[in-house]
């Protein structure tokens, strides 16, 4: 979701910088880019040590969520072509799952802005024991859809997310945004989701 459907990474980065400043720590955009796509608690543990602040990772996550949710409720920064591609997949009866390391309370206002039934399943960071880059999130999504992960196409924007999907056995369509993603077997790259539809996406990875 973050960086793939919506460009919320700047929101997260601003929230991280504000958190560090609030508690007398230091943080930079370069450091923020290193945790893109990570499980939120894992990211918070790394941030805590690098920021030099004395705050529980769980509390850090909740404060950042409060900040980012407030921003999303004002403006949802959709990536070009994201909603159109989702609509095309839905019209073509392609089952879709949302697999994100963001927590449910952050995901809900974004999903609510989409047509009802856009996603057939939703896996969030607070619903799995091991987040991306572990394969658990994508394996859980495949189970919810009633298919094998090897039959799934994952759409990702980060190396962390792509690693999770690849480890689960998915084919990965990569649309990089804020961080680079290395080439690897089973990965197909596009510059943007703009102009893509169900046929072109599935055809690009040899599904259709």
Among 29-38, 74-83, 199-208, the minimum mean pLDDT is found in 199-208
Count CB atoms within 10 A of the CB of residue 46: 15
The domain in which residue 18 lies consists of 9-74
Q: What is the pLDDT at residue 208?
A: 52
pLDDT confidence of 202, banded at 50, 70, 90?
A: confident
Residue 113 lies inside a defined structural domain of this protein: yes
Query: Does the residue 135 lie in any domain?
Result: yes
Average pLDDT over residues 42-53: 93
Give the contacts of 23 (CB within 8 A, at least 6 positions apart): 51, 53, 54, 55
Question: What's the whole-number mean pLDDT along residues 94-99?
Answer: 97
Whether residues 191 and 105 share a domain: the answer is: yes
CATH code for the domain of 171:
3.40.50.1000
Mean pLDDT of the chain: 93
State phi, psi for 109 to the nearest 5 degrees: -65, -25
Residues 91 and 188 in one domain: yes
In a domain, 1, yes or no: no
pLDDT band at 38 (very low <50, low <70, confident <90, very high): confident
Residue 3 maps to a domain:
no
Of 24, 58, 74, the position where a domain reaches its end is 74
Q: What is the mean pLDDT of residues 174-189?
A: 91
Distance between start and end Cα atoms, the chain: 24
DSSP label at residue 130: S
Point out the least confidently predicted range of 29-38, 149-158, 165-174.
29-38
In the structure, what pLDDT confidence band is assigned to residue 98 with cuts at 50, 70 and 90?
very high
Instruction: Say if residue 187 is preceded by a cis peptide, omega within 30 of 0.
Output: no
Q: Among 67-76, 84-93, 135-144, whose mean pLDDT is lowest?
A: 67-76
Distance in angstroms (rounded) separating the CA atoms of residues 95 and 73: 27
Q: Are 87 and 201 in contact (CB under 8 A)?
A: no
On the question of pLDDT at 204 being above 80, the answer is no
Q: Read off the pLDDT of each residue in 22-43 and give the average, rounded to a whole number.
A: 90
pLDDT band at residue 110 using 50, 70 and 90 as cut-offs: very high
């Amino acid at each position: 979701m973050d960086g793939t459907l919506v460009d919320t990474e700047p929101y997260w980065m601003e929230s991280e910088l504000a958190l560090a400043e609030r508690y007398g720590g230091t943080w930079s955009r370069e450091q923020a880019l290193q945790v893109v796509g990570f499980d939120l608690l894992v990211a918070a543990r790394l941030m805590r040590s690098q920021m030099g602040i004395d705050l529980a990772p769980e509390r850090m996550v909740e404060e950042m969520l409060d900040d980012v949710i407030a921003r999303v409720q004002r403006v949802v920064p959709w990536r070009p072509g994201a909603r159109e591609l989702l609509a095309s997949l839905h019209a073509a009866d392609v089952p879709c799952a949302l697999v994100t390391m963001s927590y449910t309370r952050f995901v809900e206002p974004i999903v609510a802005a989409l047509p009802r039934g856009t996603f057939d399943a939703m896996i969030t960071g607070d619903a799995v024991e091991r987040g991306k880059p572990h394969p658990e999130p994508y394996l859980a999504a495949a189970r919810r859809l009633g298919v094998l992960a090897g039959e799934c196409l994952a759409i990702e924007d980060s190396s962390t997310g792509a690693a999770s999907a690849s480890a689960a056995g998915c084919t990965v369509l990569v649309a990089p945004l804020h961080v680079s993603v290395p080439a690897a077997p089973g990965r197909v790259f596009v510059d943007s989701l703009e102009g893509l539809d169900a046929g072109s996406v599935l055809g690009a990875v040899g599904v259709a």
